[in-house]
Amino acid sequence: MQGHVSELENLAGVSGFLVGWYLIAALANGGAAVYWWRQRRAPGGAAGVQAWLPSLLWLAAAAGFLGLSAVALSGQPSALSLLSLPQPLRDAADRVLGPTLVMVGAVVLLVGFYFGRQFFVRSGVAWSVLNLALLGLGLSLTDPDFVAIVARPDNVPIVGLVFLLGFFTWLAARQAVRNDRRLARHEPPLEAVDQQRVLVWPDLVYIELICMVALMTLLLVWSILLKAPLEQPASTVQTPNPSKAPWYFLGLQELLMYFDPWMAGVVVPALIIFGLMVLPYLDVNAQGNGYYTIGERKFAYLAFQFGFLVLWIVPMLLGTFCRGPNWSFFGLYETWDVHKVEALNNVQLSERFWIDWLGRPLPAAPAGAAGWQQLCAVMLRESPGLVLLGVYLLVLPGALARYSRPIWALRNRQGRCRYWITLWLLLLMALLPLKMLCRWLFNMNYFVAIPEYFFNI
């Protein structure tokens, strides 16, 4: 639940944190300036303007962050406008943002990152993005509504997860791009160069020790600074609004917007676990074993990133940060309003088909008909969706193999059994974005709606 805190009260609460935040950002940029300056002398380093421009840029960024830190330290109410994003910008962000934009944006980002990876893996680009993220988060923290949701103690690790995932996705892509360039020159990947043996004592055990000490320090500091939340005692009569599952299941809870619980809560998780477990047996590509590469396993990379980042992580973030009372969508700077109602008038595919397109009533068994007659009537009523699903799952994999040369090649490499399981898993995974699209474009509720047997897809 969000309490109402004025901007000034909020500023008093966060200014201490902001001082440290901007100070760390300034120090990091100072370090970056030094690092880039030293790189200039490295063999193959840039010459001329290119040599000193980055250092100058990061030095300027450091000065800017230092200035912000000083402004935060003053804690004056007049400093508020300097430390915040302009209100019109925040309002615009709230208005524009929605589940559709978030999901579509995630796909665009992933595809853009994939095709532009040569550009994005450059240190300067990554450092700029990090600086923007640090600045954006810092400027947002003066907004009380932003703080109410993002700075909740249980949500702090998820902010950390976003940074970690961004960093590691970048780090992996960077090494993959390097390796792909080497492989294109018929050189072995970098990991193969470092194949000499080293003794575990002392080389590995000391790394482990340092890791443990560092991590334990982090945990202790984190535990001292941030109290574990304890809400009101459990009450079975007072339902909080919203009621959220633990954060790592919020992607699945977000699915409840599009699917019934038996799909979102049972079938989809089971398919995710099954799909992950059979992954090594379906991926018959022998290349890219034990080193970072994207070029040698483009399809596997894209499919996994789509499933993991776009369909698991992004809905999870959406559920954590943007879902408020009644599971309505709220922008990051928006006050949670219990009365915000999104009018949705969703229709079933069968209604569309029979009533809108054929201009006839829904087929129904006459009153008092036998069980099998009613079943037949339901099947007839839902036949458009059932046929569509049948074609999607039973005809499409075969047709794809037959009419697409690369997919035929895949089918031959994998063999029939592996191919069909792969295609089913991929098609079932794609069912989710397809359903989302149909909901956004046509207000589609269910492809197959058989509430009589709790069977809705």
Partner 1 sequence: MRSLRDVIRNSQLWRSVFRHAAPLDRRTRVAVILTNVFLHLHPVSISKHGLSLSYTWCMGGITFFLFVVEAVTGVLLMFYYRPTLEWAYADMMALRDVVSLGILRELHRWAAHAMVIAAMLHMYRVFLTGSYKPPREFNWVVGVLLLVLTLLLSFTGYLLPWDQLAIWAITVGSNMARAAPLVGFEGPGASWLTVDGIDLITSTSDARFGLLGERFVGEFTLNRFYVLHCVAIPLGAGLLMAIHFWRVRKDGGISGPL
**Number of amino acids touching partner 1 (CB under 8 A):** 94
Does residue 120 bind partner 1 (CB under 8 A)? no
Stretch that binds partner 1, among 7-15, 38-46, 92-100, 273-281 (CB under 8 A): 273-281
Q: Which 3 state secondary structure label does DSSP give 446?
A: coil
Does position 244 interact with partner 1 (CB under 8 A)? The reply is: yes
| 363 part of the interface to partner 1, by CB under 8 A | no
The stretch among 95-103, 197-205, 376-384, 427-435 that binds partner 1 (CB under 8 A) is: 197-205
User: Which one of the spans 50-58, 165-173, 342-350, 381-389 is the region binding partner 1 (CB under 8 A)?
Assistant: 165-173
Would you list the DSSP string of 49-97?
HHHHHHHHHHHHHHHHHHHHHHHHHH--GGGHHHHS--HHHHHHHHHH-
142 phi/psi in degrees, rounded to 5: -85, 0
Which C-beta is closer to partner 1: that of 270 or that of 364? 270
What x-and-dash track marks residues 301-320 binding partner 1 by CB under 8 A?
A: x--x---x------------
Binding flag, residue 6, partner 1 (CB under 8 A) = no
Q: 329-348: which residues touch partner 1 (CB under 8 A)?
A: none
Q: Which stretch binds partner 1 (CB under 8 A): 12-20, 271-279, 339-347, 408-416?
A: 271-279
From 42, 38, 35, 37, select the one nearest 53 (Cα to Cα).
Answer: 37
Q: How many CA atoms lie within 13 A of 134 on its CB side?
A: 25
> Which residues, including other chains, have CB under 8 Å from residue 227's CB and lie 6 or more apart?
153
Q: Which of 343, 311, 345, 347 minimizes the C-alpha distance to 447?
A: 347
- Using rule CB under 8 A, residue 238 touches partner 1: yes
Cα of first residue to Cα of last residue in the chain, in angstroms, is: 33
By the rule CB under 8 A, 178 interacts with partner 1: no
We find the least distance from the C-beta atom of residue 240 to partner 1, in angstroms, to be 5
Q: Which one of residues 10, 293, 414, 445 is an interface residue with partner 1 (CB under 8 A)? A: 293
Whole-Å CA distances, 329 to 51, 75, 95, 242: 47, 33, 11, 11
200-229 positions binding partner 1, by CB under 8 A: 200-205, 207-208, 211-212, 215-216, 219-220, 222-224, 226-229
Q: What is the smallest separation between the CB atom of 272 and partner 1, expressed in angstroms?
A: 9
- The contacts of residue 298 (CB under 8 Å, 6+ apart) are none
* CB-CB contact of 13 with 144 (8 Å): no
**Of the listed pieces 45-53, 92-100, 266-274, 344-352, which binds partner 1 according to CB under 8 A?**
266-274
Site for partner 1 in 412-451 (CB under 8 A): 450
CA distance 2 to 321: 12
Region binding partner 1 by CB under 8 A among candidate stretches 6-14, 79-87, 291-299, 413-421: 291-299
Paired strand residues for 329: 323
**Contacting residue, 265, 325, 398, 433, with partner 1 by CB under 8 A:** 265
